[in-house]
């Protein structure tokens, strides 16, 4: 089940306000609609040991898995990001988060919404964002 694009983008915008981003100043929020219809949110959590920081998408996925366990799947996901001045910035998911979304997406057409140039909201599928995704042999089609 999916809601309106506006409502899930707004949930990502609200999640970004919770960011712990004292180093980059980039506040990122993610909100996803699970296949169950439930909405889960997350934000980036930075650390003084920089590589230990978590992306917002990763945080939202962790919340969903905690709530639903192995049944958890992503029907759609929105990302939002602002800079130090609070201005919206382009925020397509990073490469690592694309792989994480792919792993738990409902299918190839799982939608991802994010601000792009001039604050325009783009909607693309996970298959468009991460073509030729890595998967283990056990999940690959037989040859």
- Chain contacts with ligand THU (rule: CB under 6 A): 21, 24, 26, 28, 44, 46, 53, 55-57, 93-94, 97
Q: Which of 57, 76, 103, 120 is catalytic?
A: 57
Nearer to ligand THU among residue 16 and residue 75 (C-beta): 16
Nearer to ligand THU among residue 95 and residue 137 (C-beta): 95
Residue 82 CB, shortest distance to ligand THU, in Å, is 11
Is 120 assigned a catalytic role? no
Residue 136 CB, shortest distance to ligand THU, in Å, is 23
Nearer to ligand THU among residue 93 and residue 115 (C-beta): 93
Q: Distance of CA 126 to CAs 44, 51, 80, 84, Å?
A: 20, 25, 17, 29
Residue 8 is encoded by which pair of tokens? 């899930």
Question: Whose structure tokens read 């506040």?
Answer: 27
Order of all β-strands in the sheet with 39-43: 39-43, 27-34, 74-82, 111-115, 121-125
112 strand-pairing partners: 77, 124
Question: Whose structure tokens read 């949930």?
Answer: 11
Residue 141 CB, shortest distance to ligand THU, in Å, is 29
Catalytic machinery residues: 57
């Amino acid at each position: 089940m999916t809601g309106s694009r506006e409502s899930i983008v707004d949930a990502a915008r609200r999640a970004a306000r919770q960011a712990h981003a004292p180093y980059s100043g980039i506040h990122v929020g993610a909100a996803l609609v699970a296949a169950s219809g439930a909405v889960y949110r997350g934000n980036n959590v930075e650390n003084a040991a920089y590589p230990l920081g978590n992306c917002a998408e990763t945080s939202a996925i962790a919340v969903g898995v905690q709530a639903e366990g192995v049944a958890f799947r992503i029907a759609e996901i929105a990302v939002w990001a602002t800079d130090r001045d609070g201005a919206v910035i382009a925020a397509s998911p990073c490469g690592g988060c694309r792989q994480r979304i792919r792993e738990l997406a409902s299918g190839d057409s799982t939608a991802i919404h994010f601000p792009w140039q001039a604050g325009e909201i783009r909607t693309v599928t996970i298959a468009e964002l991460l073509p030729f995704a890595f998967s283990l042999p056990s999940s690959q089609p037989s040859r």
